[in-house]
Amino acid sequence: MLSIEDMRTENLFDFTETIAAELFLTKKYPWEALPDIGEFIIALGNRLSSDEYEKRGDNIWVAKSARVFDSAYLNGPLIIGPDAEIRHCAFIRGKAIVGAGAVVGNSTELKNVILFNKAQVPHYNYIGDSIIGFKSHMGAGSITSNLKSDKTLVTVRVGEERVETGLKKFGAVLGDHVEVGCGSILNPGTVIGSGTNVYPLSMVRGFIPANSIYKKESEIVMKR
């Protein structure tokens, strides 16, 4: 039985695996953090150790151990964590936290996102107004769609219920250890529970429970 309570922040993430843990302390549901990412980055960035991070331009902090290719575009507010990798032609538009050991790949675009530690968006991905949990992985060409075609506010579908988010732009939330198959589209208001796998070429919408396998909307099975 699907439950709205399963989407609470504490049921999706290990908050020891993000520098942004403080941002979620007062958030019942993870998407409530999305409007506050930019201001949070600026406040946190100004507290980061200059021994571990260097400041590049306006409100951009990059860990000295991170690898950032020369062709990558970086716009603030932005924090790139230790041992992260920002590959060729990555396009980070701003309001982004890239966690320790995370990978942002060739031609991947980020906007208003949090990548937990060791999250991977490595091949031609668009991640906007979204949160990607610890060690979660977006397959090649998979994207988050963050704006409804009719421009109305995004809701999250949980079974027959709909949860109002109050947000015009909200892509997806992936809990920890989620695998999204190549070429998949995560529609506005998608929330995927921890440990879930999504088949390639899927079109996903609403809440998908933890530790499940998403084959298609009418076929979601629990892992054995």
- Each residue of 136-188: pLDDT tens digit? 999 999 999 999 999 999 999 999 899 999 999 999 999 999 999 999 999 99
Return the amino acid letter for 189: G
pLDDT at residue 106, rounded to an integer: 95
Whole-number Å distance between alpha carbons of 113 and 37: 8
Mean pLDDT of 110-122: 98
**pLDDT recorded at residue 44:** 98
Confidence of residue 224 (pLDDT cuts 50, 70, 90): confident
* Mean of per-residue pLDDT scores for the chain: 97
The domains located in the chain, with CATH, are: 4-222 (2.160.10.10)
Residue 94 scores a pLDDT above 80: yes
Pick from 72, 9, 76: which is nearest to 46 by CA? 76
**182, 140 contact by CB (below 8 A):** yes
Helix %, strand %, coil % of the chain (to 5): 15, 40, 50
State percent of the chain over pLDDT 90. Answer: 96
Residue 23 tokens, joined: 């941002």
Cα–Cα distance between 198 and 216 in angstroms, integer? Answer: 9
Give the pLDDT confidence score for residue 156 in this predicted structure: 98
Token representation of residue 21: 């843990």
Environment class of residue 157 by beta-carbon count within 10 Å: exposed (0-12), middle (13-18) or buried (19+)?
middle
pLDDT at 2: 83
Q: Which two tokens stand for residue 139?
A: 């397959």
Q: Which pTM was predicted?
A: 0.97
Q: Mention every residue, 6+ apart, whose C-beta is less than 8 A from residue 31.
A: 131, 156, 165, 167, 170, 173, 191
> pLDDT at residue 8 above 90?
yes
pLDDT tens-digit map of 79-92: 999 999 999 999 99
